Amino acid sequence: MSNIIFALLFFLSSGGDIGEINPRTSTEQFSGFLEMLIPELLGRYEVPGVSIALIRRGELAALQSYGYAHRDERLPMTDTTLFRAESVSKMFTAWGIMRLYEQGKLDLDTPVVKYLTRWTFPESNYDSGLITARMLLTHTSGLPVGGYDEVPADKDPPSLEESLSGYGDAPAAVPVHKPGTSFRYSNPGYAVLELLVEEIDGRSFVDFMEVEILTPLKMNRSTFRWHENLRPQLAVSYDRRGNPVPVYRQPVKAHAELYTTAADLAQFVISGINGYHGKQDHEAVLLPESFQKLYTPYIETTGLFGRDSDAMGLGHFIEYISEDRKAVFHGGEGKGFLNMVYVIPETGEGIIILTNSKRSAPLIADVLKHWGKWQGVEISMTRTFSPATVAVVVLIVLFLLILIVLRLRSKRMVLKRSF
């Protein structure tokens, strides 16, 4: 309640102009502002619920949940509601790889074929023997974009090896261009990393991540292992039409299978900030030099990813937001979940946004826009996913569809006349 009062006072003193948010705005004022803003955004974009964590100077400053974890049953979103992290999971996989690197078990630039015994790359026109862990982490391995078919949560998915070899609509982990030459986002690349962890460590990927990453971070509500006890804790997610998405699993865990909460993700972000600044305590997972590697730009991003980021680090996208500051981040998108983790390591600031709707892109953009004002920066993806940009894209798509329909009609008329 005090946050709302602060927000009302701030709103009135600024003449009702939300543009007055700036770096001088207090955490309590900004949290209160979100208390007013988020319910309006949920209604505007027809998003059931959202959970948000604010990290301020390397500490958890606020944890706020809004709307519904289950829309039809009016079950409220809470700070303990579980989400599928989707591709946010890739940041954790990168930490796992760096753990093996610190233990001296893995060299980032040694071809991964030297570690693999359970599976080999299928033949291709390009030399898969060039692929390294660094290439896989930075999406420069030459492997395809790919995606993996879901199975109902109560069914067992195909094995990791089957997935790597290709099945159904999922492509095999085969280079489609020369490894190490360009950026190409690849889910199969993280499937190879999952196998790499298991081959080198001897434990399952799930067990390795549990012991080496999640437990030291005290992420007690997070897991890569699906079990039915998670179902009642997991938010119901909704597709673009607003229909509930049945709970599903995928065969590859390293790219998108983390179940977590905003509070647990805050522990992860804070550990990264502390490590980046050379702070170590009993909960430290990685050495400071590992964070320097994780957050160092490796290759310029291109295509759709190049619109929202400038470069790729090890498992983290990077955006240069000022001369002396960069942001590291990763989004996550599934059939019904849409998430964002965005961090400025130099200043210790971060925001986590977890939603249970495929419609959430403009909501996330709006929240990031206001958070960016609070930080005194402009964030690229707030332009890409702004309502105005989305509207323009929709109009362009509609225009192209109309042109296609007119062209097809014209061809039919020509065919009729010819007969």
DSSP for 184-221 reads ---HHHHHHHHHHHHHHHSS-HHHHHIIIIITTTT-TT
pLDDT of amino acid 43: 97
Burial 324-354 (b: 16+ CB within 10 A, else e): ebbbbbbbbbbebbbbbbbbbbbbbbbbbbb
Tell me if 362 sits within 8 A of 386, measured CB to CB. Answer: yes
The separation between CA 261 and the C-alpha centre of its own chain, rounded to angstroms, equals 13
CA distance 96 to 286: 9
On the 0-12 / 13-18 / 19+ scale of CB atoms within 10 A, 196 is buried
First to last CA, the chain: 76
Measured on CA atoms in the order 202, 205, 207, 210, is the torsion positive or negative? positive
- The topology (CATH level 3) of 80-324 is Beta-lactamase (3.40.710)
The separation between CA 323 and the C-alpha centre of its own chain, rounded to angstroms, equals 25
Consecutive H or E run containing 41:
helix 27-45
Measured on CA atoms in the order 59, 361, 85, 141, is the torsion positive or negative? negative
CA distance 171 to 263: 35
Per-residue pLDDT of the chain (419 residues; tens, 9 = 90+): 444 444 433 443 333 344 478 999 999 999 999 999 999 999 999 999 999 999 999 999 999 999 999 999 999 999 999 999 999 999 999 999 999 999 999 999 999 999 999 999 999 999 999 999 999 999 999 999 988 888 999 999 999 999 999 987 788 999 999 999 999 999 999 999 999 999 999 999 999 999 999 999 999 999 999 999 999 999 999 999 999 999 999 999 999 999 999 999 999 999 999 999 998 765 679 999 999 999 999 999 999 999 999 999 999 999 999 888 999 999 999 999 999 999 999 999 999 999 999 999 999 999 999 999 999 999 988 755 544 444 444 444 455 456 555 565 655 554 455 54
pLDDT of amino acid 416: 52
* Per-domain residue ranges of the chain: 80-324, 390-419
Structure tokens at 35: 């208390």
Measured on CA atoms in the order 56, 58, 61, 63, is the torsion positive or negative? positive
User: Hey, what long-range contacts does 312-315 have (CB within 8 A, 24 or more apart)?
Assistant: 312/138, 312/139, 312/140, 312/183, 313/138, 314/94, 314/97, 314/98, 314/134, 314/137, 314/138, 315/90, 315/91, 315/93, 315/94, 315/95, 315/97, 315/137
The separation between CA 260 and the C-alpha centre of its own chain, rounded to angstroms, equals 12
Region of 278 on the Ramachandran plot (φ > 0 left; ψ -120 to 50 alpha; else beta): left
CA distance 52 to 301: 27
User: Hey, what long-range contacts does 64-72 have (CB within 8 A, 24 or more apart)?
Assistant: 64/31, 64/34, 64/35, 64/38, 65/262, 66/38, 66/39, 66/42, 67/38, 67/39, 67/42, 69/235, 69/236, 69/356, 70/235, 70/236, 71/236, 71/238, 71/244, 72/236, 72/244
The residues, ordered by sequence, that sit 6+ positions from 311 with a Cβ below 8 Å of its Cβ are 297, 298, 299, 300, 301, 317, 318, 320
Beta strand 338-344 with 325-333 is antiparallel
Phi, psi (5° rounding) for residue 22?
-155, 175
The residues, ordered by sequence, that sit 6+ positions from 256 with a Cβ below 8 Å of its Cβ are 84, 85, 86, 87, 89, 90, 187, 250, 332, 334
